[in-house]
């Protein structure tokens, strides 16, 4: 399969069949790891600037099929940064209170304040994925949500939040392999649910739903990155590289210090 860009052209329809989940960009695992070590150092420096400057924020959204690697990517990519400046939110099934409000109500107050990196493990996109595939709301309702999501992300961007959205792209064979590893290892049984098999049977429906969001909610201020994720090492390298590049593009700097000449620290 031909190589594909991580970011598809804006305004064009996305077909996931055209993206190879086993792509490694001609990199070896060792070469990627060497580069990642350099990137991690730069990531640490840039995060400190973001926190100190306190005028912008970064929102990183992770979406994937079950066993797609969201938890692993978050653990690996952010293991070197200062946890004081990072907030991770995992969105589970909506509570009764959540359902009593609009679908973005539970999302908005978890967005990162200025100076912080916010990480969404699943996100507002569940409301055009699960809700669509399982007919939780009528089509007339979820169809309008694409527009609402786009307006929501535009609002965040206009208020100083950079948005990065990562779809971790694995194939069905890789998912089966990872499910089997969870079944074979008692320490990983907690990660497996019989409900995962129901979702696996809906694979094609979910691919259609993902293609819709990758097409309809993909803009320069809130781009989707389709990350080949069959190889975990390449997944982590791509995500780290993308985050570092985005932080560099934000023109971060430490705030101007006050005049410290002549100051003597008392005994």
Q: Where are the beta strands (DSSP E) in 193-258?
A: 224-228
Report the share of the chain in percent with pLDDT over 90.
91
Task: Kindly state the average pLDDT of the residues 154-170.
Answer: 98
Question: Would you state the pLDDT for residue 4?
Answer: 66
pLDDT of residue 3: 53
- pLDDT for residue 258: 78
Burial of 196 (0-12, 13-18, 19+ CB in 10 A): middle
Domain 16-249 CATH class label? alpha beta
DSSP labels for 63-89?
EESTTSSHHHHHHHHTTTS-GGGEEEE
Helix 232-249 with 29-53: angle, nearest 10 deg: 30
pLDDT (tens digit per residue) in 215-265: 999 999 999 999 999 999 999 999 999 999 999 999 999 998 777 777 888
Would you say 88 and 116 are in contact if contact means Cβ atoms under 8 Å apart?
no
Mean pLDDT of 124-132: 97
What integer pLDDT is reported at residue 257 of this predicted model?
78
pLDDT tens by residue, 26-44: 899 999 999 999 999 999 9
Per-residue pLDDT tens for 68-107?
A: 999 999 999 999 999 999 999 999 999 999 999 999 999 9
Q: Which of 125, 53, 120, 54 is nearest to 90 (CA)?
A: 120
Grouping H, G, I as helix, E, B as strand and the rest as coil, residue 57 is strand
Res 75: pLDDT? 97
């Amino acid at each position: 399969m031909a190589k594909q860009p991580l970011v598809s052209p804006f305004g064009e329809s996305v077909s996931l069949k055209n993206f190879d989940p086993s792509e490694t960009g001609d990199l070896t695992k060792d070469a990627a790891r060497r580069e990642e070590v350099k990137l991690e150092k730069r990531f640490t420096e840039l995060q400190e600037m973001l926190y100190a400057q306190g005028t912008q924020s970064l929102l990183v959204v992770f979406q994937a099929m079950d066993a797609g690697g969201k938890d692993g990517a978050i653990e690996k990519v952010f293991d070197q940064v200062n946890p004081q400046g990072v907030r991770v939110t995992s969105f589970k099934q909506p509570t009764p209170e959540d359902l009593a409000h609009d679908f973005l109500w539970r999302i908005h107050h978890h967005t990162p304040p200025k100076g912080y990196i916010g990480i969404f493990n699943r996100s507002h996109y569940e409301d055009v994925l699960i809700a669509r595939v399982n007919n939780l709301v009528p089509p007339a309702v979820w169809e309008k949500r694409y527009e609402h999501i786009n307006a929501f992300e535009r609002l965040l961007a206009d208020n100083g939040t950079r948005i990065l959205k990562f779809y971790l792209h694995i194939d069905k064979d890789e998912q089966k392999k990872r499910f089997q590893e969870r079944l074979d290892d008692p320490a990983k049984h907690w990660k497996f649910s019989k409900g995962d098999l129901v979702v696996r049977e809906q694979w094609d429906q979910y691919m259609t739903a993902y293609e819709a969001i990758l097409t309809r909610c993909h803009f320069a201020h809130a781009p989707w990155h389709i990350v080949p994720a069959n190889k975990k090492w390449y997944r982590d390298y791509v995500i780290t590289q993308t985050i570092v590049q985005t932080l560099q593009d934000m023109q971060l700097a430490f705030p101007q210090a006050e005049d410290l000449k002549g100051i003597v620290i008392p005994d």
